[in-house]
Amino acid sequence: MERRVKKLLRLIGDKTDGVLITSAENVRYLSGFTGSEGILLVTHSQSFFFTDGRYTTQARQQVQGFSLQCFRDKWKDIGSIIKKLGIRTLGFESRHLTVAMLGDIEKQISHLALKLFGAELDGLRLIKDSGEIALLRKAARIAHNALQEVLPLIVPGVSEHDIATELEYRMKQHGAQGPAFPTIVASGVRSALPHGTATEKKICAGELLTIDYGVQYQGYCSDETCTFVVGKPTRRQKRVYETVLRAHDRALQMVAPNIDLKKIDAAARSLIARHGFQRYFNHGTGHGVGLCVHEPPVVSARATMTARRGMVFTIEPGVYIPGWGGVRIEDMVLVTARGYEVLTCHTKKLHCLAV
């Protein structure tokens, strides 16, 4: 935790006297606290953890390296500490600062100059340490084990909702806190919806079926997408699937330290375009995964970062044809010293169900 706080201080530099951390993910990353009410005040000489009476016992057990402060009137009490420290310029997480929160702060701490940090803090959780990587591997394995148990249940006539519910139940049975996001089970023409969360629609023979699923394990997320055919695939289904799989594999093989992330995106995108499906690939090729299921970096045409050892992100090209269906193939990868390691577990070869 001490190393992480030092990393935060390097990122904010001498631009402020201190910074307030309010997002749950960064509070957990920096202090170890897993509750829903926690705020950090970090200066170059002292660090404070604020919570209310519901969480003081939990905070004493979990929080490391911070002076524990229990508040009754949140912003009044935090403002009192800020005044005592003589802080004149205070940083905030701009992506987590609401208008209401800003109003409360300004009422109690009107003398402050506020400095908003957005992209500057993207580097805080960008590189995963060995402990984080172990948790991400475990999350991916739990998700895989749950899916393996559910696949035999997918037969014509069962609903998308039933499969999603069963999958989320098995995730918890295997040790997950729960799903990392609402499980996507989209069949037939609905598989053309990139975020087609499960409905009561019955799965039919001959349809494409996309399952985008992930677990949360000790705060860390997994994310994987598999597309299946229920029954025997048609020639067109095979063609689209093989195109997306080749794009996926081509992008995956590009992953290595110092490679521009936009080049990884271009590798997948150009192959899909070569096969005539460019207008049906309408999102980026990947995103970071960690304490959030979507976090920096992004792997897209607008990406500005290069791959660095310890980054974890997805590779997930897709083709979505309205009125017909879609295919997405997604793996979660770790950038290693010489290339990459795939953290997710399910094979991406075309898998036909209920045959």
pLDDT at res. 333 = 98
**pLDDT, tens only, 75-122:** 899 999 998 999 989 999 998 988 888 888 888 777 788 899 988 898
pLDDT at res. 196 = 94
In this structure, what token pair is assigned to residue 145?
Answer: 């084990």
CATH class of 130-353: alpha beta
CA dihedral 12, 17, 20, 25 (to 10 degrees): 30
pLDDT at res. 354 = 81
Pairing of strands 178-179, 215-217: antiparallel
Q: Where in the chain is the domain with CATH 3.40.350.10?
A: 2-121
pLDDT at res. 1 = 86
d(Cα 22, Cα 213) in Å, to the nearest integer? 28
Burial of 308 (0-12, 13-18, 19+ CB in 10 A): middle
Q: Where in the chain is the domain with CATH 3.90.230.10?
A: 130-353
pLDDT at res. 144 = 98
CA distances to 80, 97, 109, 112, 284 from 86, in Å: 10, 22, 11, 10, 45
Parts of the chain with a pLDDT under 70: 355
- Token look-up 């910074």 returns 19
pLDDT at res. 165 = 98
CATH class of 2-121: alpha beta
pLDDT at res. 288 = 98
Q: Which of 222, 223, 198 is nearest to 210 (CA)?
A: 198
The answer, as to whether pTM is greater than 0.75, is: yes
d(Cα 321, Cα 191) in Å, to the nearest integer? 9
